[in-house]
């Protein structure tokens, strides 16, 4: 059997992955809080662990992998939207309106991630469906002395778990000094975190031994992972922003409850936009749906995201999207009629087995294209969700394709202005017009236009 090498955040080294049970490989990924559209950064862990899930199924068998990704549907922003709808006259209880809002946003999320070619996990639990399991786990932690109730809140005693901080490599005192922690009168220690908090009439709530309330964020994943994957499972993933406090807290409460929890911890690095951190204040914040609506195909987004190793920061740029579209058009032109009846290339698979190295794997795909190995190219690309038959409808759509064609004509025009030889400009313009692309040239620049009748496949040689 092929060996997979995975970098384990908990051990800070890359090791051969040894599943607890090769017939039942189990993986949990921290999913989204569903209060709005998924931004582009939210898509990175989805795509990284989608590829890992595909790889695990390739190695251990399609039915030998259980992949869980949760939905957090207990959140103040969701509550605020539900409350606003109730105050506006919407029918139903606050809990029902929260569920309605969650249904809406989960529908958006599925549509957006489907467009990126991400396969649905085996289980997608909602936090609100596992409240009783959370209550049971909290009660057990209180009984064992690892948690306490005060003023309607239940809190976890961080200092009662000696290994706290091992994942992120910091001591409790260092964390207090370097992080903002909530100081509250109901806490024994500033680092103690909330397992359960009270709800008033303006907030959704559930009955518990400590009164009507709702769970804290961290207990959700521990309870759902235990219920769906058991006492111990193989891989727990998420963005590296979750290492502290979320994953640190998950480990503490699960271990203190007597669970073995996760063997391997994997974290992807964050996303930037044009070299800067994505933020609304910088005006570079956008959702997956924003890109899709702008005409950037889901396959192009996927290609760009996977072109950087998951443990390195990923920089989204417009140029990368254009380059990805050009590459994918070339690859599709030679593989669309090819039947995939062969395994991925050995070199491709070896590269991917090395800590899910999608960047290196894509480099191998370039080599396969250059060598004319189109069957292996298609079979290998399919392993990471590219060149699949269901994702190629964008090829004859305008959008990023026209951007690339505009850039080609602009470069030819700039050169012609220097040499006074417009032969190449005239050749490009004639080819564009023959394909049904409208060409408008002025001193201000070049504008191309194309409707759905344009046959952009005629212009593959110019991309």
Q: Using pLDDT thresholds of 50, 70 and 90, give the confidence band for residue 333.
A: confident
Q: pTM of the prediction?
A: 0.86
254-262 mean pLDDT: 97
Residue 175 has pLDDT above 70, yes or no: no
Residue 174 has pLDDT above 70, yes or no: no
Is pLDDT at 30 greater than 90 in this prediction?
yes
Q: What proportion of the chain, given as a percentage, has pLDDT over 90?
A: 69
- Name, in order, each residue with C-beta under 8 angstroms of 367's C-beta and a sequence gap of 6 or more: 347
Average confidence (pLDDT) over 109-121: 97
Cα 34 off chain centre by: 13
Least confident of 89-103, 215-229, 248-262, 377-391: 89-103
Residue 197 phi/psi, 5° resolution?
-135, 150
Mean of pLDDT over the chain? 91
What per-residue confidence (pLDDT) applies to 110? 97
Calculate mean pLDDT across residues 253-266: 98
- Cα dihedral angle (302, 305, 310, 311), rounded to 10 degrees? -170
Query: How many Cβ atoms from other residues are within 10 Å of residue 370's Cβ?
Result: 9
Q: What is the mean pLDDT of residues 341-366?
A: 97
Helix (H, G, I), strand (E, B) or coil at 316: strand
Q: What is the pLDDT at residue 186?
A: 92
Q: What is the mean pLDDT of residues 159-188?
A: 79
Average pLDDT on 264-287 reads 87
The single residue listed with the structure tokens 């009629």 is: 337
């Amino acid at each position: 059997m092929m060996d997979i090498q995975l970098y384990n955040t908990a051990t800070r080294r890359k090791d051969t992955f040894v599943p607890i049970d090769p017939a039942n490989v189990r993986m949990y990924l921290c999913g989204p809080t569903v209060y709005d559209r998924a931004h582009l950064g939210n898509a990175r862990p989805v795509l990284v662990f989608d590829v890992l899930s595909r790889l695990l199924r390739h190695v251990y068998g399609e039915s030998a992998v259980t992949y869980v990704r949760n939905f957090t549907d207990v959140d103040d922003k969701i509550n605020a939207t539900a409350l606003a709808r109730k105050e506006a006259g919407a029918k139903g209880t606050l809990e029902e309106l929260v569920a309605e809002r969650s249904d809406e946003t989960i529908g958006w999320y599925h549509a957006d991630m489907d467009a990126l070619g991400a396969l649905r996990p085996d289980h997608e639990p909602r936090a609100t469906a596992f409240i009783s399991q959370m209550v049971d786990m909290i009660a057990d932690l209180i009984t064992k002395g690892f948690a306490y109730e005060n003023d309607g809140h239940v809190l976890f005693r961080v200092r009662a778990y000696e290994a706290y901080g091992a994942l992120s490599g910091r001591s409790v005192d260092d964390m207090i000094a370097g992080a903002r922690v909530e100081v509250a009168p109901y806490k024994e220690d500033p680092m103690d975190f909330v397992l359960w908090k009270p709800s008033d009439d303006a907030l959704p709530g559930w009955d518990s031994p400590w009164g009507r309330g709702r769970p804290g964020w961290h207990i959700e994943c521990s309870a759902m992972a235990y219920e769906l994957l058991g006492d111990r499972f193989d891989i727990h993933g998420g963005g590296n922003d979750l290492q502290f406090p979320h994953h640190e807290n998950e480990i503490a409460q699960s271990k203190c409850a007597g669970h073995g929890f996760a063997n391997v911890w994997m974290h992807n690095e964050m996303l930037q936009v044009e070299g800067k951190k994505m933020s609304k204040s910088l005006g570079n914040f956008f959702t997956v749906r924003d890109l899709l609506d702008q005409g950037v195909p889901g396959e192009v987004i996927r290609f760009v995201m996977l072109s950087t190793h998951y443990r390195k920061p990923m920089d989204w740029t417009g140029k990368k999207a254009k380059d990805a579209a050009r590459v994918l058009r070339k690859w599709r032109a030679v593989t669309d009629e090819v039947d995939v009846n062969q395994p991925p290339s050995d070199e491709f698979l070896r590269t991917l087995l090395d800590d899910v190295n999608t960047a290196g794997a894509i480099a191998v795909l370039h080599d396969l294209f250059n060598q004319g190995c189109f069957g292996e190219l298609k079979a290998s690309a399919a392993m990471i969700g590219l060149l699949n038959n269901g994702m190629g409808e964008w090829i004859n759509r305008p959008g990023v394709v026209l951007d690339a064609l505009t850039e080609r004509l602009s470069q030819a025009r700039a050169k012609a202005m220097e040499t006074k030889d417009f032969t190449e400009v005239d050749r490009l313009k004639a080819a564009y017009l023959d394909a049904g692309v409208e060409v408008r040239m002025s001193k201000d620049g070049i504008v191309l236009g194309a409707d759905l009748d344009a046959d952009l496949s005629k212009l593959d040689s110019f991309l």
